[in-house]
Structure 1
Amino acid sequence: MKSPLMFKPFVVACAFAAGASLAAPSAFADDVNIGLAAGLTGSSAHYGEDIKRGAQLAIDDANAKKLVIGGKPANFVLAVEDDQGDPRIGAQVAQKLVDEHVAGVVGHFNSGTSIPASRIYHGAGIPMVSPAATNPTLTSQGYADVFRLINSDAQMGQLAGRYAVESLKSKSIAVMDDRTAFGQGIADEFVKGVEKSGGKIAMREFTTDKAVDFRAQLTHIKSINPDVVFWAGLDQQAATIAKQMRALGIKAVLLGGGSFQNDTFLQVAGPQASDGALSWGYGAPLTASPTGKQFEDRMKSKYGQGVVAFAPNAYDATWVLIRAMQKANSTDPKVYGSQIKSVSFPGVTGDVSFQANGDLKAPGATLYKVEQGKWVPVAQTNGEKIEPLKTN
């Protein structure tokens, strides 16, 4: 989702050394290596680890089925690389996976790493399915082998903007973003959604994805007495913003678009500052289906921790590649890649099928509100109409 650190040659050298140790070795000559790339160190490491765990569950399930593809038993292996959330390291990691002849790639997490990496995979004819990169540029490049298992910023940002005006009846709206590919992108789309609904943005501020003090921007925002503050960034900064808003006496609703509906936000913000916060989340709640509940239970059983955010997306993304291999009866990316666009199945995240550009056909979204220290689903959409959900 977000974009990242400046490049340092020494850091890259270390990253390759670390990446080499992370990649699972091939145990058999006929192993089918599926690459996975995400930030496994740094501030987004909890997201990257979540993605890795979800993909590994899919690998485990596929191997348990003892699939035969092209007349041979298919033993899938996850080749894991840490891109550190850095576009330049992401590009180097992408080339490493290409050189290792992976059959496909699940990744990356950040939009800022996914976009440059996608060009490398496309050049090598290796399909890429991102579980979390939301910037519209990813699927607007004209690549037939790049897909995503998540709402784009255009879809989620404009949805959040419409909700702020039409449902929250906000008259004064402030926007702050972290200047990353994700943050700035979804902030821009939020503004479009507000304006399309007849609303206006009273103030727009920005920071960086490394900042920890937002009081200067928030003091400026306080001067307009906003009804809503839309934060376009990730969870730990959102939590700090929530605390600093309350310390400054800002009573506005903190609203996010697919960025901080998780336990990290609750833990860092604390019960008082987090109360009443709203954040759109991708897809339907896990608790809404037996499949989702089972997946959450399996995550807890195997890893001692439930879903952070994108493990279900990574699980389904991995199965997109495997199902396409089954359809083509081949693990050769140049053979099975053309089948991905016709893959369709009920996944953990909902119905999985793709538009011509690689975006999901009908991505759902759920709005969550913090009530008594917990995220509670309060509205849902699978298209234009936002339907309120009954809460206990």
Structure 2
Amino acid sequence: MKSTNFTRRTLVLATLATMAVGSTAFAEDLLVKIGFAGPLTGASGHQGVDQERGVRIALEEANAKQLKINGNTVKFQIQSEDDQGDPKVATGVAQRLVDSKVAAVIGHYGSGASIPASRIYGDAGIPQISASSSNPVLTSQGIKSVFRVIISDDQMGQYAGSYVVKSLKAKRIVLIDNRTAYGQGAADEIGKAIKKEGGNIVMREFTSDKVVDFTSLLTAVKAANADAIIFVGEDFQAAPMAKQIKALGLKAAFMPIGGLTNDTFIKMAGESGEGTLSWDYGLPIENMPKGKEFDQKMKSKFGTGVIQFAPLAYDATWAVINAMVKANSADPKKYLAAMKTNKFQGLSGPIEFTAKGDLKQAAATLYTLKGGQWKVLEVKYGQ
């Protein structure tokens, strides 16, 4: 009997130990999928890859911290989707991420993709936070799950429009956009500001986001005797435009806008880029307290430093993570309210949202290309 009792006690203790181990394993493994959506291929692929890398670094850091949600250690995992910078593809990507039950989406890159995709995320109640979609429409649709960590084009437009009239003192201004939701929207805002400041727009033109030969258009610009050319589009378009402006002998100041103060523009434009002016979104990386450290981390991990929006994508990811931890839940329906109360010092600046989902304090920076490098001329803050 003594032997039998001992055996029974041993079996009971072993069973309890097994249950405890199983319970611990369960408690330490809460998988949370974070979606990323943006162009990973094509002409803007470098911008999408740059943002995705910012997301990956944020998630790796969060995993290293072994954060707890509802008593469980969280394991964050990225699900990346290539929207090719195409609005139609973006909606398919959005539905795929929703069907995969991601807890949040960082993206999309362009406003033309973000706006239609936002309705799909909104219907599913999944927070979407963009690091680069600046069209005012995005956060004006009444969708409660939409956020961004970039200055809106209504504010950026005021800066750019005012600068070309007051500081450049341009008398004959040409305004061109690439007819995307971003390009047209931003150009419209710049046009409003120019008119408000009493400026004179002698030509308002548009092209497409696929064109890189602007010779015919610029010939007309030359005939209009323009003294300032503003182009709202992508870096891979602005660079050949700079070359063609020089080749045609135009003396007008060139101010392209659209997230292009990077090495891609410098390499593509060459010497023709010298003197280019550009308003860009966010702070210069050297003005970020940990910007150089982050840039070095990107280089060490991926072989390439920050291209443009990786720091903002990093902050967008942490905004989601912080909201989940604060709400003690990874369920979008439960942590969405905490997104509205986010308040922390991000890599790119202070992260705090308005009721619409815009940043309360967003930065814009004016650069000039001098000696083959982008030099900071001015930094402004606004909503």
Q: In the TM superposition, what is the alpha-carbon distance from 1:231 to its structure 2 partner?
A: 0.5
Range that drifts further, 232-241 or 221-230: 221-230
Decide whether the 8 Å contact of 1:368 with 1:376 is kept in 2: yes
Equivalent residue for 2:13?
none
Equivalent residue for 2:169?
169
Supply the distance in 2 between the matched residues of 1:356 and 1:201 (Cα, whole angstroms).
Answer: 35
One-letter identity of the residue aligned with 1:203 = M
One-letter identity of the residue aligned with 1:116 = P
Equivalent residue for 1:188?
188
Structure 2 CA distance for partners of 1:374 and 1:343, relative to 1, 3 Å: same
Any idea what the Cα deviations from partners look like across 1:18-47, whole Å, max 9, x if unmatched?
xxxxxxxxxx96210000000111111000
Equivalent residue for 1:126?
126
Equivalent residue for 1:25?
none
Equivalent residue for 1:112?
112
Equivalent residue for 1:259?
259
Any idea what the Cα deviations from partners look like across 1:225-253, whole Å, max 9, x if unmatched?
22210001010110000000000011111
Structure 2 CA distance for partners of 1:62 and 1:289, relative to 1, 3 Å: same
The alignment's C-alpha RMSD in Å is 1.2
Q: Does 1:362 align with 2:336?
A: no
Equivalent residue for 2:42?
42
Supply the distance in 2 between the matched residues of 1:314 and 1:88 (Cα, whole angstroms).
Answer: 23
One-letter identity of the residue aligned with 1:230 = I
SS of the residue corresponding to residue 222 of structure 1 reads helix
Any idea what the Cα deviations from partners look like across 1:123-147, whole Å, max 9, x if unmatched?
0010000111111111000011100
Q: In the TM superposition, what is the alpha-carbon distance from 1:383 to its structure 2 partner?
A: 3.4
Equivalent residue for 1:9?
none
Any idea what the Cα deviations from partners look like across 1:294-340, whole Å, max 9, x if unmatched?
11111111111111111011100000100000110111000001110
Q: Does 1:91 align with 2:87?
A: no
One-letter identity of the residue aligned with 2:137 = T
Any idea what the Cα deviations from partners look like across 1:269-317, whole Å, max 9, x if unmatched?
102x100001112122111133111111111111111111110111000
Q: Give the % identical residues.
A: 52
Supply the distance in 2 between the matched residues of 1:257 and 1:266 (Cα, whole angstroms).
Answer: 14
SS of the residue corresponding to residue 76 of structure 1 reads strand
Equivalent residue for 2:381?
382
Equivalent residue for 2:232?
232
Aligned pairs for 1:18-167 within 5 A: 30-167=30-167
Supply the distance in 2 between the matched residues of 1:268 and 1:299 (Cα, whole angstroms).
Answer: 22
Decide whether the 8 Å contact of 1:157 with 1:257 is kept in 2: no
Decide whether the 8 Å contact of 1:160 with 1:256 is kept in 2: no
SS of the residue corresponding to residue 290 of structure 1 reads coil
**Structure with max Cα Rg:** 2
Equivalent residue for 1:220?
220
Equivalent residue for 1:339?
338
Decide whether the 8 Å contact of 1:156 with 1:257 is kept in 2: no
Decide whether the 8 Å contact of 1:136 with 1:152 is kept in 2: yes
Supply the distance in 2 between the matched residues of 1:366 and 1:154 (Cα, whole angstroms).
Answer: 15
Supply the distance in 1 between the matched residues of 2:171 and 2:330 (Cα, whole angstroms).
Answer: 54
Decide whether the 8 Å contact of 1:70 with 1:331 is kept in 2: no
Equivalences, count:
356
TM-score scaled by structure 1?
A: 0.89
TM-score scaled by structure 2?
A: 0.91
Any idea what the Cα deviations from partners look like across 1:338-387, whole Å, max 9, x if unmatched?
11011011111111111111111111111110001110001111139xxx
Equivalent residue for 2:24?
none
Equivalent residue for 1:243?
243
Q: In the TM superposition, what is the alpha-carbon distance from 1:154 to its structure 2 partner?
A: 1.2
One-letter identity of the residue aligned with 1:308 = I
Q: Which runs of 5+ in 2 are unaligned?
A: 1-27
SS of the residue corresponding to residue 270 of structure 2 reads helix
Range that drifts further, 250-259 or 343-352: 250-259
Aligned pairs for 1:281-296 within 5 A: 281-296=280-295
Decide whether the 8 Å contact of 2:262 with 2:307 is kept in 1: yes
One-letter identity of the residue aligned with 1:43 = A
Equivalent residue for 2:16?
none
Q: Structure 1: which 4+ aligned runs deviate by more than 3 Å?
A: none
SS of the residue corresponding to residue 144 of structure 1 reads coil
Equivalent residue for 1:200?
200
Decide whether the 8 Å contact of 1:156 with 1:258 is kept in 2: no
Supply the distance in 1 between the matched residues of 2:324 and 2:111 (Cα, whole angstroms).
Answer: 26
One-letter identity of the residue aligned with 1:170 = A
Decide whether the 8 Å contact of 1:283 with 1:366 is kept in 2: yes
Equivalent residue for 2:20?
none
Decide whether the 8 Å contact of 1:145 with 1:338 is kept in 2: no
Equivalent residue for 1:321?
320
Decide whether the 8 Å contact of 1:206 with 1:217 is kept in 2: no
One-letter identity of the residue aligned with 2:187 = A
